């Protein structure tokens, strides 16, 4: 199949509400934030134009014979925003609204996100133009495998080229299909074929902790920002995540895990919006019970511990401390910005807030915790999975037992030097504390450290440039991009 060139003037924009369309496309919004942030740097305009341009984006069509025997042609996309670092990295989504501009915008955000986290990747994004709810498992598998083969034939996938991961509408099953298709096509030529995608099932070369990583990263980043007492005082909010009331839009992997970690830490989940409506309880919602209900019923409707239920998303407009949009782009826009009654918007989704909405809400005193910082947990753990695949060994396999024995030796030294009779054999807690780290332990602690370092960097940039956290995140990423090209140059 040949690669088609697509004019931006014919991009389908019908997936957005009228108010969102009037604010421009998703790509327009990302460009606007980039332009605003770059105004705080001393980088020349010609270089900035190069940094924000997309290196390559492709569209091709996938033929599919449906279960009823009918033939359809499904559009598919992949964008590599910047190939200055290889491989490029970014998710693969299944959405009927995907288009050229969307994958360009999302790949742009991935370049910035990877830069903020100091990950050795350029940014990429892609997907297939279907609503997965309207396709069978067999049909989706066929599309994922054909998508992978077309990327491979175009040299658009591989552990050293471009590494897709899960995104909207995809998970470990879809990534495992992609891995299987690639290894059967190229595995005999690529010893690192397992690293062609991340977010795979554990038994397919995945890593423990990937499923919860984005939600956990949101929790870590939000916790760290709210633990900065001086920052909280400067913006007029009470420090600490503990005791804060939280409303979440979207209760998939990102929203549900974020809710669980915040709940365990001491926050109160009071509202959740999903595709089948929204629920609210000012006394709190147990996120574990809600997750079990959603697994059983497919949504939040009928959850017994909700004091209110709406068929729409009214729950997201109720009063709370923190609102977490963890669903789609541009869900907070000029058309609904005045309805929100929160103090903080912690962005779990990519690009959930338009610039016009942000300006309105900032004028009301709302604080934004930006997406390119907060939801970077997913790509961070994908990086750890990629490293696991390249090393061909599980994290901790060579050191876990040694570390456990080292702890016991230290304990023996303490007993010998103090004369204390310390018996740990009868204590399950003591035994657990003396164990060497599991793969999950290593992943979670690496993610926590990465998010803490990224938050500290953005907070320092915010203070240095006297800007909000979103502009600080963009400025940090832009400066790192510029530093790279200043040293490496632009290839001829």
Active site residues: 125
CA–CA separation, 81 and 134 (whole Å): 30
Phi, psi (degrees; rounded to nearest 5) at 273: -115, 140
Length of the chain: 492
CA triplet 407, 410, 412: central angle to 5 degrees?
110
Beta-carbon contacts of 207 under 8 Å, excluding residues fewer than 6 positions away, are: 198, 381, 384, 385, 388, 395, 439, 443
Could you give the CA distance from residue 18 to residue 16 in angstroms, rounded to a whole number? 6
Signed CA dihedral, 410, 412, 417, 423: sign only: positive
Alpha helices for 209-300 (secondary structure H): 213-226, 229-235, 253-265, 287-297
Cis before 32? omega within 30: no
| Torsion, Cα of 35, 21, 95, 93 (10° steps) | 10
Residue 398, both tokens: 């060579």
Dig out the tokens for 240 from the structure. Answer: 């600490």
Q: Which residues contact 445 (CB under 8 A, 6 or more apart)?
A: 437
Tell me if 199 sits within 8 A of 363, measured CB to CB.
no
| Helix (H), strand (E) at residue 484 | helix 469-488
């Amino acid at each position: 199949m040949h690669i088609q060139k697509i004019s931006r003037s014919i991009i389908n924009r019908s997936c957005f509400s009228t108010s969102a369309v009037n604010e421009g496309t998703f790509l327009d919004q990302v460009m606007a934030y980039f332009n605003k942030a770059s105004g705080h740097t001393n980088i020349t305009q010609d270089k900035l134009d190069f940094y924000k341009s997309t290196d390559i984006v492709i569209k091709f069509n996938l033929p599919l014979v449906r279960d009823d025997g009918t033939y359809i042609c499904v559009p598919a996309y992949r964008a590599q925003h910047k190939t200055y670092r290889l491989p490029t990295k970014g998710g693969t989504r299944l959405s009927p609204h995907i288009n050229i501009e969307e994958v360009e915008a999302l790949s742009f955000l991935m370049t910035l996100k990877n830069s903020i986290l100091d990950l050795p990747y350029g940014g990429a994004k892609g997907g297939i133009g279907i609503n997965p709810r309207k396709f069978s498992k067999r049909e989706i598998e066929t599309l994922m495998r054909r998508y992978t083969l077309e990327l491979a034939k175009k040299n658009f996938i591989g552990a050293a080229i471009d590494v897709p991961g899960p995104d909207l509408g995809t998970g470990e099953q879809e990534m495992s299909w992609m891995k299987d298709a690639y290894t059967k096509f190229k595995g005999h030529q690529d010893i690192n074929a397992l690293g062609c995608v991340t977010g795979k099932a554990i038994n397919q070369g995945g890593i423990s902790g990937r499923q919860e990583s984005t939600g956990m990263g949101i929790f870590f980043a939000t916790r760290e920002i709210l633990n900065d007492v001086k920052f909280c005082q400067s913006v007029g909010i009470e420090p600490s995540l503990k005791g804060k009331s939280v409303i979440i839009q979207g209760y998939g992997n990102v929203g549900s895990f974020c809710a669980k970690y915040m709940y365990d830490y001491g926050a109160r989940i009071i509202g959740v919006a999903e595709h089948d409506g929204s629920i609210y309880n000012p006394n709190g919602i147990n996120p574990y019970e809600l997750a079990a209900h959603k697994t059983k019923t497919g949504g939040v409707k009928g959850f017994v511990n909700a004091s209110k239920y709406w068929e729409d998303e009214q729950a997201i407009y109720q009063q709370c401390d923190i609102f977490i949009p963890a669903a789609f782009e541009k869900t907070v826009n000029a058309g609904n910005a005045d309805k929100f009654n929160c103090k903080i918007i912690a962005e779990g989704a990519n690009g959930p807030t338009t610039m016009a909405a942000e300006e309105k809400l900032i004028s009301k005193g709302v604080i934004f915790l930006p997406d390119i910082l907060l939801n970077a947990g997913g790509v961070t753990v994908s990086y750890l999975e990629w490293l696991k695949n390249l090393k061909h060994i599980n994290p901790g396999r060579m050191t876990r037992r040694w570390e456990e024995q080292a702890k016991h030796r230290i304990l023996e030294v303490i007993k010998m030097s103090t004369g204390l009779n310390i018996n740990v054999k009868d204590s399950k807690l003591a035994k657990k504390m003396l164990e060497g780290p599991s793969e999950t332990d290593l992943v979670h602690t690496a993610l926590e450290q990465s998010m803490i370092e990224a938050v500290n960097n953005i907070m320092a940039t915010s203070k240095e440039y006297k800007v909000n956290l979103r502009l600080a995140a963009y400025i940090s990423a832009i400066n790192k991009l510029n530093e790279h090209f200043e040293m490496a140059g632009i290839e001829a």
